[in-house]
Structure 1
């Protein structure tokens, strides 16, 4: 089950994507009606809107199976505290479902898109969120419990992953969207939504999202793409990445040091380099270290200058290790965060070269 929440003319619009039991159990494939339907209701509050679903749905909704909540972008910009408050209090709802922000569109439109591989669109969103977080590390799967902890914690702000509609929103809601080889509309995870208190204030790009996950030590595995000296690319499959924050007080000012440790294997080689030589591996390690440090530094500067929102938890780290100092600066932390000095150090270890040492291209005869 999935819920969408939008705001229209000062009223909450709740969209509930629910399973049609007979259609799912019959596994009819292309035959019959859609396996899900979308019920919608408005109300002055979230509670009103949810209760008003009973006016359009013949069955009482059971929210214990809730997997996904999508919040419209304009709703997120206005503030989501009331949504979180309701969801955390409703007795049927567990706190382990995931929240996303509908990027540049309304939540109801996202939940209207028919998906191909998963007959139930909520399952599709759930699965791509998990796959992206575990394999690419440029998104973040955030539960209700996670988000509330971040928003209530001193010196830490929250984030959510964005979900975007590619293609024609209108035709994407019809059954024809899943009956052709190329769907007219698809759902794509796109960027990380940055919150300040409970309001959406901006977006991180995919690369900035990856840097954010590196800083907050949430990378499970990922892929690094490096430029070769004479042109071309090399991929490094990262299977271990840890990041540690250290804070110090220098001349009465807090400073942050981020220590990043990366290990991985060489994947694809699309350039002329000799990976059997130790100096080549050292060169690749140094290139990757510089790239990570650059991306992390640039992402921190974007967040400091454009959003003034401590999504990294620098303030929380100071609060935990030096509560007396935090007490002095917490009331002006927005200003302190925007000006805090951050030093980033990355160390890369490329451990194996794969089953083939040098690129196959070198061994192919002209």
Structure 2
């Protein structure tokens, strides 16, 4: 026993402490980063927490964050140059969101991401978005109500929207890098824009009124080809993309009533599968979708107690969903020739030998690819009411 204790004591002599330990008062906790391209240099913006303002005891009512900026020939250089202004080392270990300007995204984002992909201080579970029609620094310079730290607002809004609306896509760094380097699937990123007066957006006044003068809002999906942004989907096409790629958790879809008007269907269960095949030497893809939902709102005259009415609504949902998905595919094929859906991956899984021969010219194959869409509403429930009170008023 004494021998074991002696061995343990000797081993402790060779154990070191935390060699990279840092005190919190030596770090500037960075919650959001923005990357712009100004002439031939990168402009990096860091949204940093003001410690005294996130403390309930010491807060003086000023902004909970401040913005540091620096330019450099590389992102890493600009990042380090911030120390000329910031009193503490910029620490991105708690990063929630990375904003890349649309101008830079059109040039290519690979070089911008290299530092973030290899930096050991960074977790890779932060979202990446594109500043639409403005710079990344302008987005990070807007104050937000409810969430005093704008980065938290941006992170939580995208997470919530992706989960219950399905027209946006929360893409973390790992997934983005996978799509950028994948054979048979291209990347998409959600756009973010500033609504209102950008100058007032940075002031405290912006969050002191019921209706802020300036807001940050997510807007459409950006389509990439290799590492370059080549265009934007509409909101409906963004929803079609989510349907195809099986990223829908919950959403609401307004469909036509049989005799005019609209019915809103809440989708609570959604499943989409993509299967590839080779037919007479040419690739084909089958998309099979199954959905379950509730009638969420009725704005027409229809008797929901009749089984034939519910069957008719289900058929309308299947028809309109199929049309939306086919329109989305046609837009991407004809305008962008970028396989953001992963159809190439489906062909690779089903026919690896044939894929090896066609992957070098997959863009051309994708643009002319035959896609069969199958939509089935498996279960449609009425909700808490049998018929809308509107029906009684009309009667």
TM-score by length of 2: 0.90
Equivalent residue for 1:6, pick from 30, 36, 46 = 36
Root-mean-square deviation (CA, aligned residues, Å) is 1.3
Counterpart of 1:234 in structure 2 is 263
Q: CA deviation at 1:351?
A: 3.2
Q: 2: CA distance between counterparts of 1:105 and 1:290?
A: 38
Counterpart of 1:308 in structure 2 is 337
2:297 match: secondary structure: strand
Q: 1: CA distance between counterparts of 2:189 and 2:158?
A: 11
CA contact (8 A) 1:156 1:310 kept: yes
CA contact (8 A) 1:289 1:347 kept: yes
Structure 1 residue 352 corresponds to structure 2 residue 388: no
Equivalent residue for 2:48, pick from 18, 21, 30 = 18
Q: 1: CA distance between counterparts of 2:276 and 2:338?
A: 18
Q: CA deviation at 1:265?
A: 1.0
Q: Structure 2: 5+ residue runs without aligned partners?
A: 1-30
Counterpart of 1:246 in structure 2 is 275
Aligned residues: 365
Q: 1: CA distance between counterparts of 2:341 and 2:256?
A: 28
Counterpart of 2:21 in structure 1 is none
Equivalent residue for 1:190, pick from 219, 235, 253 = 219
Kindly report structure 1 stretches of 4+ aligned residues shifted beyond 2 Å: 26-29, 362-366
Q: 2: CA distance between counterparts of 1:235 and 1:28?
A: 48
Structure 1 residue 292 corresponds to structure 2 residue 309: no
Q: Structure 1: 5+ residue runs without aligned partners?
A: none
Counterpart of 1:265 in structure 2 is 294
2:258 match: secondary structure: coil
Q: 2: CA distance between counterparts of 1:285 and 1:28?
A: 57
The 1:174–1:27 alpha-carbon spacing in structure 2 relative to 1, beyond 3 Å, is: farther
Q: 1: CA distance between counterparts of 2:58 and 2:283?
A: 62
Equivalent residue for 1:200, pick from 222, 229, 237 = 229
Structure 1 residue 92 corresponds to structure 2 residue 92: no
Q: 2: CA distance between counterparts of 1:2 and 1:27?
A: 25
Deviations along 1:296-355, whole A, 9 cap, x unmatched? 000001111111110000111111221101011111111000000011110013432112
Counterpart of 1:124 in structure 2 is 153
CA contact (8 A) 2:275 2:350 kept: no
**Aligned positions of 1:1-366 closer than 5 A:** 1-26=31-56, 32-364=61-393
The 1:71–1:27 alpha-carbon spacing in structure 2 relative to 1, beyond 3 Å, is: farther
CA contact (8 A) 1:266 1:350 kept: no
CA contact (8 A) 2:294 2:383 kept: yes
2:55 match: secondary structure: helix
